[in-house]
Amino acid sequence: SQTIHQWPATLVQPVGSPLSLECTVEGTSNPNLYWYRQAAGRGLQLLFYSVGIGQISSEVPQNLSASRPQDRQFILSSKKLLLSDSGFYLCAWSRLADSQYFGPGTRLLVL
Amino acid sequence: AQSVTQPDIHITVSEGASLELRCNYSYGATPYLFWYVQSPGQGLQLLLKYFSGDTLVQGIKGFEAEFKRSQSSFNLRKPSVHWSDAAEYFCAVGADTDKLIFGTGTRLQVFP
């Protein structure tokens, strides 16, 4: 069966510091991968998605970037965090034209 | 543009009572439709999905949802709620399965 991992689970970072969140999927090959942000009291906002290694689509302009160095690895990064980057970050995977399955999430607090 | 509305921010029911969570969408054709559940501090778990075919879909944990094209709705139902169903529920729609639009969620509280 497929599993999806995210780390760290929780992160507290100062404003202006860099960020790297990692997501890995096991038990499948060539998945579509997604990064979402969930702000308090709001739904999920799609940030990036990837259909293959090195292929990244950005959905909203922002302070963040994503990379996919390996088939089942998806990384969310920032060079300088802003207070507004605080939130709950969720990674998801899917097979072509099928449902998305979510990881446990990373809670980021920028102080 | 696509949009999805969950009109109820917070719903409280007694354990054993029936439940219906509302979801309305705006889209020109029949979209892909999903319901997810999220426990506090956790990721989202897929409850059920509608792609095509029978408009009444069954999901996990005893949930079902009915797609009504005429009302642009995809309401989630459960005949008898358990205390463990307390969580936040999200409806999602998409023209394809990659770019989903999520509602703002409905928080379900269950009283014993």
Best residue in A21, A102, A106 to probe B by mutation, most B CBs within 10 Å? A102
A105: nearest CB among B43, B49, B90: B43
Chain A contact probe: residue of B5, B39, B51, B97 with most A CBs at under 10 A = B97
Is the predicted pLDDT of residue A18 greater than 90, yes or no?
A: yes
With 80 as the cut, is the pLDDT of residue B1 above it?
A: no
Chain B CB contacts of A101 under 8 Å are 46
Q: What is the pLDDT of residues B36-81, one digit of tens each?
A: 999 988 999 999 999 988 999 999 999 999 999 999 999 999 999 9
The one-character DSSP state at A19 is E
Band of pLDDT at residue A102, cut at 50, 70 and 90: very high
The whole-number pLDDT of residue B95 equals 85
Other Cβ atoms less than 10 A from the Cβ of A19: the count is 21
pLDDT, one tens digit per residue, over B88-107 is 999 999 888 888 999 999 99
Contact status, residue A90 vs residue B28, Cβ threshold 8 Å:
no
- In three-state form (DSSP H/G/I as H, E/B as E, the rest C), the secondary structure along chain B is CCEEECCCCEEEEECCCCEEECCEEECCCCCEEEEEEECCCCCEEEEEEECCCCCEEECHHHCEEEEEHHHCEEEEEECCCCHHHCEEEEEEEECCCCCEEECCCEEEEEEC
**Phi-psi map region of B63: left, alpha, beta (phi>0 left; psi -120 to 50 alpha):** beta
What is residue A100's predicted lDDT score, i.e. its pLDDT?
95
- Check residue B2 and give its pLDDT: 82
Model pLDDT for residues A49-68, shown as the tens digit of each residue: 999 999 999 988 788 999 99
Query: Average pLDDT, stretch A27-41?
Result: 91
At residue B35, the pLDDT reads 98
Phi-psi region of B55 (alpha: psi -120 to 50; beta: other; left: phi over 0): alpha
In the predicted model, is pLDDT for residue A5 greater than 90?
yes
- Taking the alpha carbons of B17, B21, B22, B27 in that order, is the dihedral positive or negative? negative
Q: Can you tell me the distance from the alpha carbon of B78 to that of B87, in angstroms, rounded to the nearest whole number?
A: 14
Instruction: Look at residue B17 in the predicted model and tell me its pLDDT.
Output: 98
Beta strands at B32-38 and B24-26: parallel, antiparallel or unpaired: unpaired
What does DSSP assign to residue A84?
G
Q: What is the pLDDT of residue A50?
A: 95
User: For A83-93, what is the mean pLDDT?
Assistant: 95
Six-digit token pair at B32?
A: 């892909």
DSSP H or E segment with residue A13: strand A10-13
Provide, as residue numbers in chain B, all residues whose Cβ is less than 8 Å from the Cβ of A106.
none
State pLDDT tens for residues B5-24. Answer: 999 999 999 999 999 999 99
Q: Which residues of A touch B (CB under 8 A)?
A: 6, 32, 34, 41-46, 49, 51, 59, 90, 92, 94, 97-105, 107
| Residue B48 touches chain A, beta carbons under 8 Å | no
